């Protein structure tokens, strides 16, 4: 059997997805399924790091609209990503696979600080590494965080897990005639204004020559399918 297409990846997972049908908080069956999918994907031979959003807990932009300053609101959102990482770390380890949550913030009583050397070490040990705290700075999304961390740790691709199977010319849930793209360049993704990722993330991926694969995580096993080269998604590269 052929090995995985990518030997080291960063997977970007939205916090909202972890809420399942509840809209907020953490849905345990959804969390458990994601943990199982990550473990199965890792067994293909790929080193996996995960960046999780915090939208199921709190979104900095929404908090800022209610009178909190944007830097404070974004910091609250980044702390929410750490909570999601801790929850996923526990779900993975309950299944017998080692994991390690790292944070962009110094919080030694809770989890270790992110460094490139620590990430390399834990990936080499066979752990799934969960990267919380965003970039540690306000005004940057977790999409940008995923690309930044991928570039820092020498990942070969960023896998953007969404609720649709790729990038479309319009919202396929609203426009049945929307066209799905099999492949785009980074510049085309930026110029098209597609909302699956922010322009800063695409621009950084272009600068660092990192491919981004946009796919649906709704189906069990979808992460492994992408890593095996059999999954359905849109590749943004070149």
| Domain definitions of the chain by residue range | 8-236
Query: CA 110, CA 45: separation in Å to the nearest integer?
Result: 29
Question: What's the pLDDT tens digit per position in 162-201?
Answer: 989 999 999 888 898 999 999 999 999 999 988 889 999 9
Q: What is the pLDDT of residue 215?
A: 96
Average pLDDT over all residues of the chain = 94
Structure pTM?
A: 0.94
β-partners of residue 23 are none
Indicate if the alpha-carbon torsion angle 182, 183, 189, 191 is positive or negative: negative
Nearest to 141 by CA among 195, 87, 83: 195
More confident residue, 21 or 13: 13
Q: What is the pLDDT of residue 1?
A: 43
Question: What's the pLDDT tens digit per position in 115-164?
Answer: 999 999 999 999 999 999 999 999 999 999 999 999 999 999 999 999 89
* 183, 237 contact by CB (below 8 A): yes
Region 100-114: mean pLDDT is 97
- Which runs of consecutive H residues, i.e. helices, occur in 68-107? 70-94
Q: Would you say residue 89 has pLDDT above 80?
A: yes
Residues 6+ apart with CB under 8 A from 212: 147, 157, 158, 159, 160, 186, 189, 197, 201, 202, 205, 235, 236, 237
* CATH number listed for the domain at residues 8-236: 3.40.1160.10
């Amino acid at each position: 059997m052929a090995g995985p297409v990518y030997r080291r990846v960063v997977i970007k997972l939205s916090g909202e997805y972890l809420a399942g049908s509840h809209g907020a908080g953490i849905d345990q069956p959804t969390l458990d399924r994601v943990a199982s999918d990550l473990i199965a994907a890792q067994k293909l031979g790929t080193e996996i790091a995960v960046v999780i959003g915090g939208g199921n807990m709190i979104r900095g932009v929404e908090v800022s609209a209610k009178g909190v300053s944007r830097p404070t609101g974004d910091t609250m959102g980044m702390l929410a990503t750490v909570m999601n990482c801790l929850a996923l770390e526990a779900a993975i380890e309950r299944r017998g696979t080692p994991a390690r949550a790292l944070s962009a913030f110094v919080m030694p009583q809770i989890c270790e600080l992110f460094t490139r050397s620590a990430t390399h070490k834990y990936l080499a040990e066979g752990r799934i590494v969960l990267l919380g705290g965003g970039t540690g700075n306000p005004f940057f999304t977790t999409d940008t965080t995923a690309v930044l961390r991928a570039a820092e740790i020498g990942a070969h691709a960023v896998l953007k897990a969404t609720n649709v199977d790729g990038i479309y010319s319009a919202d396929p849930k609203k426009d049945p005639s929307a066209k799905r793209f099999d492949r785009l360049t980074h510049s085309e993704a930026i110029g098209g204004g597609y909302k699956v990722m922010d322009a800063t993330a695409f621009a950084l991926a272009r600068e660092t020559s990192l491919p981004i694969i946009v796919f649906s995580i709704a189906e069990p096993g979808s992460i492994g399918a992408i890593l095996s080269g059999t999954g359905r998604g849109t590749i943004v590269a070149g």
